[in-house]
Amino acid sequence: MTPGPAARGSLGCPAVRTVATARRPVALVAAAAAGLIGLVAIPASPAPASAATLAPPPPIAWSACPSVAGYRCGTVEVPVDYQDPRGPSLALKVIEKPAGDPAADRGVLLFNPGGPGESGVQILPVLAGLVPPEVASDFDLVSFDERGTGASDRLACGPSPAAAASVLPVPSVAGAPLPAASVYRDLHAGCDRSYPGLLPHVDSTDAARDMDRIRQALGVSTVNYWGISYGTVLGSVYAHLFPGRVRAMVLDGAVEVTASLAAQAREEAPAITASLDHFFTACSATGDCPLGPDPAGYFATLETKLEAHPLPAPGDGDDLPVTVGDLDTATLFYLSVPSFSSTFTTALVAATAGNGAPLRSLSLEFEVDLDGTSLVAPQWAYTCNDATASLDPAAAGRLARSLSARFGPLAAYAVTYDLGGCVDWPRASDPVTDVSATGAPKILVIGNTGDPNTPHSSAVALTKSIGSARLLTWVGWGHTWLLNGGSDPCMRAAVDAYLVSGRLPGVGTTCA
Mean model confidence pLDDT for the chain: 90
pLDDT computed for residue 112 by the predictor: 98
Rounded CA separation 431/257 (Å) = 10
pLDDT-based confidence at residue 102 (cuts at 50, 70, 90): confident
3-state helix/strand/coil string of 262-305: HHHHHHHHHHHHHHHHHHHHHHHHCCCCCCCCCHHHHHHHHHHH
What pLDDT score does 37 carry?
Answer: 35
Q: Are 407 and 273 in contact (CB under 8 A)?
A: yes
Element (H, E) at 63: strand 63-64
pLDDT band, very low/low/confident/very high, at 49 (cuts 50, 70, 90): very low
Main-chain phi, psi angles of 453, to 5 degrees: -105, -50
**Strands 72-79, 63-64: pairing kind:** antiparallel
Q: Give the pLDDT of residue 48.
A: 37
Q: Is the pLDDT of residue 119 over 60?
A: yes
Band (pLDDT 50/70/90 cuts) for residue 150 is very high
pLDDT of residue 159: 98
Q: Per-residue pLDDT for 428 more than 90?
A: yes
pTM, to two decimals: 0.91
pLDDT at 27 over 80: no
Q: Are 506 and 37 in contact (CB under 8 A)?
A: yes
User: Residue 42: pLDDT above 60?
Assistant: no
Give me the pLDDT at residue 341, please.
86
Q: What is the pLDDT of residue 13?
A: 44
Name the range with the highest mean pLDDT among 15-29, 31-45, 275-289: 275-289
pLDDT at position 104 is: 81
pLDDT in tens, 397-424: 999 999 999 999 999 999 999 999 999 9
pLDDT of residue 248: 98
pLDDT of residue 492: 96
87 pLDDT band (50/70/90 cuts)?
A: very high
Distances in Å between the alpha carbon of 31 and those of 166, 217, 490?
43, 39, 5
- Residue 208, pLDDT > 70, answer yes
Using the 8-state DSSP alphabet, how is residue 176 labeled? Answer: P
Q: What mean pLDDT is predicted for residues 292-297?
A: 97
Mean pLDDT value across residues 20-38: 29
Q: Which of 29-33, 220-224, 415-419 has the lowest mean pLDDT?
A: 29-33
Give every CB contact of residue 117 below 8 A, 6+ residues apart in sequence.
1, 12, 146, 148, 149, 369, 375, 378, 379, 382
106 band by pLDDT with thresholds 50, 70 and 90 = confident
Question: Is pLDDT of 313 > 80?
Answer: yes
Are the beta carbons of 213 and 220 closer than 8 angstroms?
no
User: How far apart (Å, rounded) are the C-alpha atoms in residues 178 and 486?
Assistant: 37
